[in-house]
Structure 1
Amino acid sequence: MREVVDGVFELALGYVNVHVIVTDDGLVLVDTGLPKGVKVLERSLRSIGRTLDAVTMVLITHHHPDHAGSLAVVRARAGATAVAHAADAPHLTGAIPQARPTGFMAKLVTRAIGTPEPTKLDKLVTGDGGEVVPGIVAVHTPGRTRGHVSYLLDRAGGVLFAGDAATHLKGVLSGPPPGPATADAERAAESLTRLAGLEFENAVFGHGQPIIGGAAEQFRQLRP
């Protein structure tokens, strides 16, 4: 667990990042990481003098299991308010069952990381521009999934929680992680352009390293 800017911590859980925002009312999580990841999350929170019980809200960027895998457990144990976009809600609540893996390696990986439990959602994002919690605005950034949401925190000149709308690996900023998991590449590119029109000094990602200072300008350099 490392502090990115004042009161914003990043926890690297293997290849995916979870972010913790310290507020006056408790902790806000942006994503929860993989299934079976709660014990690591608890240990990391203790390292900054906090406990899972302090989590009051979980903001989900999208329904993929590496980002929302432990949502049900965190919601149940912490009594936290779970927030996600309406378009991704059926995948999280179980209304749309998890896709069954095909192929030996896919099944092996699924067995190793576990399967997310379905859970209720307490608040749905249906558009964007509104505060989901004081100081944090939801920005609908479809592409990776139909309901992908990025979040913008009004702190330290602005902190963008990009989720999988963008990645920053080895100093290179780009779009969603490569591979077939991006539902709509054209909309993903449009979402990148939209993010480039916002004002923020810092950005953190579901995959990759944070950008501290001048983050929005780097997004603008990606515009077509």
Structure 2
Amino acid sequence: MSVHVLYFDLIGALVDPAALTPCYVDSLARMLRARFGGSAARWHSAVRGVFADWDSYYADLNLSGDDGIADMWEGMYRVMRGCFRLADMPEPDQPSLTALSRSLPGDAAAACDSLLPDALDALNQLGAKGIRRGVTTYLTADHARGMLRGGDALALIDAPILTPETVERFERDPTYFEIAALRAGVKPGSCLLVSARTDVLDSARAAGLRAARRM
């Protein structure tokens, strides 16, 4: 059976996390300062502090549970609120802070070209062969699209961008990848997943997809 759709695990297969993190931290801090004032040093210190203590913002949340998507949004809200608190800046009201927590990550990511060096060539070569290109990620859709825009890759994605809120589950288990094939409109065996993560590769294979490790 031929491969008709190739899904990239966004972080690790298309985006280099080592290149992304420092740029994203800087971009997020600059955008917060531009909107809310304060010193650049204070915002940069706050954002770095949030990233250093990231797990604590999600410690009591169960992203794999029945309320995983709600918990994901709650975690994002806490992260954004943490930036204001560590910067010692007045917080916006809850609706405004909620909206900011969902929109600003994508805006900040769009300011960063963090694609792996061979990513654009790979996407173009697949397109030339008629293989559709999709993305799977634990990030939100806006955040994922921002990363792809930052690397001038969004226009090359012509298969689904699968995110927790679009699939309605955070855990990338076999059911998730069954949905991936359905969303692409092909049989699982016609989908190939490329990822650097063993657990994600195993789930894809359990759903009948082909899977290849990104080295």
TM-score range, shorter chain: under 0.3
Instruction: Using structure 1 for the length normalisation, give the TM-score.
Output: 0.26
Query: 1 or 2 for the larger relative contact order (CA 8 Å, sep ≥6)?
Result: 2
TM-score between both structures, scaled by the size of structure 2: 0.26
Q: Which has the larger radius of gyration?
A: 2
